[in-house]
Structure 1
Amino acid sequence: MSAATVRVEAPSTGVEGALTPVGVERAITALASVLTVLLTAVAFWLSYEHLQEVAAAHGMAEAVARSWAWPATVDLFIVIGELLILRASLAHRVDGWAIGLVAAGDGASIALNVAGVGQDANALNYVVAAVPPVAALLAFGALMRQVHAYLASRASTGVNPPPPGVEAPSTPVNVSVDRPPAISPAEIVAGTASVPELPASAPETEQAPTPVTVEATPVTAASTPVDLCTPVVYPNRVDQLVRALYGSDFTQPSTARMTQAMTAAGLGASESTARTARGRVKARETYLTDFPTAIAG
């Protein structure tokens, strides 16, 4: 027995250094997530604050608690809709109702922030009022996209996969495998090759049989003897010839075989006549259809 060395490429675990592409990508992702959360909070706060001022200026000046609660009836539709969209995307489906909630909440927030500026205002005032709700929409969408990507990767692989285009380094591992010595063809022809002995198998232990009493039920099988060597007499000569071929080798004759026999008997060589005769024979003696049809034409 000789030992052979096999080189196996095994993926390595861990990161080689602190500044690998995987580490940089994770750091950028974490920083982007933090900034996205911060931007979402600031944009929502600015939009919420302006909507509170709009509510206070239009009938809720004395009801401070209601003026602060009123913007939630608009902005919370955006949060609810985005969460429902995230749930639907994780289930690989489209939730039209959730999309409608986000569109209604965003549209109402932008419209009310712009309308709260009032008439005859400078164009830049309208832009300043519209920026917070638009920024809140984009920032919250970016945040939900990152959460969706993370949850989707965890659900599909169970671990954090490496970013696209980055291959994990591999570490060669040497494994010793015992192999039988090679035998040349010349040694096999000369009869000098020695066959390695197989290890003796463990002796088999016979188990004592357990007697089982089975009540025999008499079965009467009805059979109909059929003598295929003595074909049934047919008035048609072609039918009689085809029927005789069934008893020669107990297979269904092919079209070529039937036409060959018909030619030898001087009955022509029409394939359609042969197949029609075979059909009449099988219709009269139905048990012939059970014969093998591997060579039937």
Structure 2
Amino acid sequence: MTKSDAERAAVIAAGVVIVVLTAAAFWLSYAHLADVARHNGLAASPERRWAWPATLDLFIVAGEVLMFLAALRARTDWWAIGLTVTGSLGSIGLNVAGVGPHQPLLHYVVAAVPPFAALLAFGALMRQVHRLIPDTAQHLAAVAAAEPVSVERADQPPAPAAPPRTPELPAASPVPAVSVPAALIAHARKVADAHHAATGQLIDSATLRARLGVPAPLADAIAAQLT
């Protein structure tokens, strides 16, 4: 087993544990918030009592989905982080407040642990995702010294031959080759795969140029290698 395979297996195992932990924490927190609603005005309506916690927990779910999508695009979505943190802190606060005054300390701890554990678990998952999708600028700096691979411009026609009987006109200059580091092509392929998973569309040269921060000729050459 290679190092890459071992890392992938570890991330999958951690992801399964985190999903199970998050599901259990959400269920415990949701059920406790339903009890809080029952003791605070919704005792006569079981349907509303069980729907009420969703007005808070769905903010957490929406924020986590947006954070995961941003991570796949190698970006940081502060709005999504704000939704997740606000929803989580609100859930922790309401779970603790629902215990009531003058209760043993462990009662408050038991109420606070599920939403706090869910927040920490998702944070750990996002840390692994961001490590597997390295920052583009750092990756380009790391592969700058890699051995280049000569790639001909795929979008340029061959240079026309000089017309006969006009020797005074110089022949057109040949299209220069664009040198692309092999590691950069591999990284661009990961970016293209993430783009396809997020949008359902193949990545184009303009998007590659924006994501990788490279000149247009180099982006064209990379795009030609990915097709």
Task: Give the shorter-chain TM-score range.
Answer: 0.5 to 0.7
C-alpha separation between the residues in 1 aligned to 2:7 and 2:79? Answer: 35
Aligned-pair distance for 1:118?
A: 0.5
Mark the runs of 5 or more structure 2 residues left unpaired by the alignment: 140-162, 165-227
For 1:135, give the aligned amino acid: A
> Structure 1 residues 150, 63: closer, same or farther in 2, change over 3 A?
farther
> Match for 1:41 among 17, 23, 30?
23
**TM-score, scaled relative to structure 2:** 0.53
For 2:22, give the aligned amino acid: T
Aligned-pair distance for 1:148?
A: 4.7
C-alpha separation between the residues in 1 aligned to 2:26 and 2:71? Answer: 24
> Structure 1 residues 151, 66: closer, same or farther in 2, change over 3 A?
farther
Aligned-pair distance for 1:75?
A: 1.1
Higher relative contact order by CA 8 Å / sep ≥ 6: 1 or 2?
Answer: 1
Name the SS of the counterpart of 2:99 in structure 1: coil
CA contact (8 A) 1:44 1:132 kept: yes
> Match for 1:107 among 89, 93, 96?
89
Question: What residue in structure 1 maps to residue 194 of structure 2?
Answer: none
Matched, 1:55 2:37: yes
Aligned-pair distance for 1:24?
A: 3.6
Matches within 5 A, 1:112-191: 112-150=94-132
CA contact (8 A) 2:33 2:53 kept: yes
C-alpha separation between the residues in 2 aligned to 1:148 and 1:136? Answer: 19
Query: Residues 94-148 of structure 1, C-alpha deviation per residue, up to 9 Å, x if partnerless?
Result: 4332232122201110000000100110011111111001001111222334445
> Structure 1 residues 40, 71: closer, same or farther in 2, change over 3 A?
same
C-alpha separation between the residues in 2 aligned to 1:72 and 1:120? Answer: 28
C-alpha separation between the residues in 1 aligned to 2:11 and 2:67? Answer: 22
For 1:76, give the aligned amino acid: L
For 1:116, give the aligned amino acid: G
Mark the runs of 5 or more structure 1 residues left unpaired by the alignment: 1-18, 158-208, 211-297
Matched, 1:81 2:57: no
Matches within 5 A, 1:1-297: 19-91=1-73, 93-150=75-132
C-alpha separation between the residues in 2 aligned to 1:93 and 1:24? Answer: 25
Quote the sequence identity (%).
58
Name the SS of the counterpart of 1:121 in structure 2: coil
Question: What residue in structure 2 maps to residue 195 of structure 1?
Answer: none
CA contact (8 A) 1:82 1:141 kept: no
CA contact (8 A) 1:90 1:152 kept: no
For 2:102, give the aligned amino acid: D
Deviation larger for 73-82 or 26-35? 26-35
Name the SS of the counterpart of 1:39 in structure 2: helix
C-alpha separation between the residues in 2 aligned to 1:104 and 1:31? Answer: 28
C-alpha separation between the residues in 1 aligned to 2:29 and 2:65? Answer: 20
